[in-house]
Amino acid sequence: MNYPTNRLLLVSLAGIAVVAVGAAFWPRHGGAVARPTIPTVSAAAGRVLAAKPIPAPSGRGIGPDSPNETGRIPILMYHSIGDKLSGRSAALSARMGLNISPATFRAQLEAMYRAGWYPVNVRDVLSARMEVPRGKTPVAITFDDARRSQFRYRKDGSIDPDCALGILLAFHAKHPQDWPNRASFYVLPESPPNPVPFGQKGLETKKLKFLADQGFEIANHSTTHRSMRNMNARQLQKEMEGCVTYIRARVPEATMDTMALPYGSAPRDRSLWNVLLTDAPAGSAGSSPRAHYHNRCILLAGGDPSFAPCDRRYDKRQIMRVGSIPGNIEYWIKGMKRGSGPWRPYVSDGDRETVTVLASQKKKLAPAHLDGARLVVLNDLPPTTKKKASPRVAKTSRTEQ
């Protein structure tokens, strides 16, 4: 099967599967936002070093830009950027957001920048002790399938300015301090159903090394891109190991420690979810340094902005991503209003040694998820006033009437 035909097939399958599996996770525009059902993670008692609310720092007060590290974190899901498709596949891909134009992607980056978002890799938002500048909201931009339109070399050896990577590099050059080179690429190894990563035979290793050298994340999207819904433990392990082996043979320094589910389809048997996180301790029988895998999180293929790592509802085995269906990312950029509403974004305090939360949001906190950071609570609650006691009225006895 040639590359264009194979990629069209993957686009179609992805569109159909995402509709079937992930539709419940997508928001409804123009009205109430659909909330996914996520199992609550029980929180054991943790050590809290500063539990009482304290006033805001002098001169700053409590406002929309105050730190709020229990807020939501946008993790965005992209596939193709400007692929040349036609016919039914083109229509399906456009409708499902599996192929957006370079102009749309550039406009979305500009909107993220204006909203105070700051790019990070997925592996950098999995701990309460993340490094994000004060006042910024972390955003993890992800790309699935290692498609050619994500990273393409032109005939002269330069990076195509209209591929996803070319657009990201140009945006970094425009904003070198506020927009570092960060994004997570969930790749597939070369196999009978799939081309080489990023679709240019002979250039795959060069591309993978370039991504790692520039600070981008290379991560696991399985070996065959088959649905994992009905797989057993050994099948799941092979899917994880095959991708890790292929990538580390070419880029040994690749972290390969986060994973995105093909089609967002998790094993039906929930007892197998942890198999996707790790196979066996390194060096144990039957494992090799290249084949061994350890995933710090599992990403879904749709949903709302993710819970913060210190949120009680956070579950590393099913982290939501915001899909790029038309208008969806723009919807969330506008909808994650700072300072009010149910979708308040995460706003960093700029110090990885502390976790700063608002008193009104403290109920969301899981102390066990602080990872050793010190808790700071800013008091944004209205002052309480004591009710004045009602004057007592003397009762008249019957004998006095």
Tell me the pLDDT band of 17, cut-offs 50, 70 and 90. Answer: very low
Say whether pLDDT at 193 is over 90.
Answer: no
**Contact yes or no for 210/21 (Cβ under 8 A):** no
Select the more confidently predicted residue: 227 or 11.
227
Select the more confidently predicted residue: 320 or 343.
320
Q: Where are the domains of the chain?
A: 3-46+70-343
Query: Per mean pLDDT, which of 26-30, 133-137, 291-295 is the most reliable?
Result: 133-137
What is the pLDDT, as a whole number, of residue 337?
80
> For the segment 147-158, what is each residue's pLDDT rounded down to a tens digit?
999 999 999 999
Tell me the pLDDT band of 112, cut-offs 50, 70 and 90. Answer: very high
What is the pLDDT, as a whole number, of residue 270?
94
192, with CB counted inside 10 A (0-12, 13-18, 19+), is exposed
**Contact yes or no for 313/38 (Cβ under 8 A):** yes
What is the pLDDT, as a whole number, of residue 394?
52
Say whether pLDDT at 33 is over 50.
Answer: no
Say whether pLDDT at 282 is over 50.
Answer: no
Tell me the pLDDT band of 135, cut-offs 50, 70 and 90. Answer: very high
- Measured CA distances, 41 to 278, 313, 343 (Å): 19, 6, 20
Range in 113-117, 369-373, 383-387 with the lowest mean pLDDT? 383-387
pTM score, two decimals?
A: 0.82
Say whether pLDDT at 2 is over 50.
Answer: no
Mean pLDDT of the chain: 83
Tell me the pLDDT band of 390, cut-offs 50, 70 and 90. Answer: low
> For the segment 228-257, what is each residue's pLDDT rounded down to a tens digit?
999 999 999 999 999 999 999 999 999 999
> For the segment 287-316, what is each residue's pLDDT rounded down to a tens digit?
455 568 999 999 999 999 999 999 999 999
CATH 3.90.1300.10 at 3-46+70-343, yes or no: no
Q: What φ, ψ does residue 89 adopt, rounded to 5°? A: -65, -40
Closest-CA residue to 310 (of 51, 125, 74, 140): 125
Work out the average pLDDT over 67-90: 93
What is the pLDDT, as a whole number, of residue 291?
61
End-to-end distance of the chain based on CA atoms, in angstroms? Answer: 105
Select the more confidently predicted residue: 194 or 171.
171
What is the pLDDT, as a whole number, of residue 44?
29
Closest-CA residue to 66 (of 355, 347, 319): 347
**Contact yes or no for 293/256 (Cβ under 8 A):** yes
Q: Tell me what percent of the residues of the chain surpass a pLDDT of 70.
A: 77
**Cα four-point dihedral sign 280, 286, 289, 291:** negative
- Measured CA distances, 271 to 231, 352, 377 (Å): 12, 34, 37
What letter does residue 18 receive in the DSSP assignment?
A: H
**Contact yes or no for 148/2 (Cβ under 8 A):** no
Work out the average pLDDT over 213-231: 98
CA–CA distance, 19 with 7 (Å, rounded to integer): 18
